[in-house]
């Protein structure tokens, strides 16, 4: 089973001002999959530089690692004064 959850097609507007020469827009996608020998479901995170299809990176996160990533993003949002949401 594979199912897409969300994706974000990045644009040049995502680059912070003054960094246009040094950074490239990066799209991301989240899926879930259980197509593994152990049949355990995992969260699949794909990141890919815009304009470089099929050259991105994918990581297949166990639930504990997906929660750790979620927690790190929540903590980073708090650190910059943003509401972390749910």
Q: Looking at the domain assignment, is residue 31 inside a domain? A: yes
Across the beta sheet with 26-33, the strand order is 2-8, 26-33, 42-49, 57-61
Do residues 9 and 29 lie in contact, with contact meaning Cβ atoms separated by under 8 Å?
A: no
Taking only the tens place, the pLDDT of each residue in 4-31 is: 999 999 999 999 999 999 999 999 999 9
What's the domain count of the chain? 1
Q: Looking at the domain assignment, is residue 59 inside a domain? A: yes
Q: Looking at the domain assignment, is residue 86 inside a domain? A: no
Q: Looking at the domain assignment, is residue 84 inside a domain? A: no
Q: Looking at the domain assignment, is residue 57 inside a domain? A: yes
Q: What is the pTM of this model?
A: 0.85
Q: Looking at the domain assignment, is residue 14 inside a domain? A: yes
Give the C-alpha separation, 7 to 34, whole Å.
Answer: 19
Taking only the tens place, the pLDDT of each residue in 36-81 is: 999 999 999 999 999 888 899 999 999 999 999 999 999 999 999 9
Q: Domain span at residue 50?
A: 2-79
Give the C-alpha separation, 25 to 12, whole Å.
Answer: 6
């Amino acid at each position: 089973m594979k199912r897409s959850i969300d994706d974000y097609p990045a644009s040049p507007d995502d680059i912070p001002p003054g960094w246009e020469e040094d950074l490239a827009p990066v799209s991301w996608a989240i899926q879930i999959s259980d197509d593994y020998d152990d049949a355990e479901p995992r969260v699949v995170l794909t990141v890919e530089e815009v304009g470089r299809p099929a050259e991105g990176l994918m990581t297949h996160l166990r639930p504990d690692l997906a929660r750790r990533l979620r927690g790190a993003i929540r903590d980073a949002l708090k650190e910059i004064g943003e509401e972390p949401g749910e």
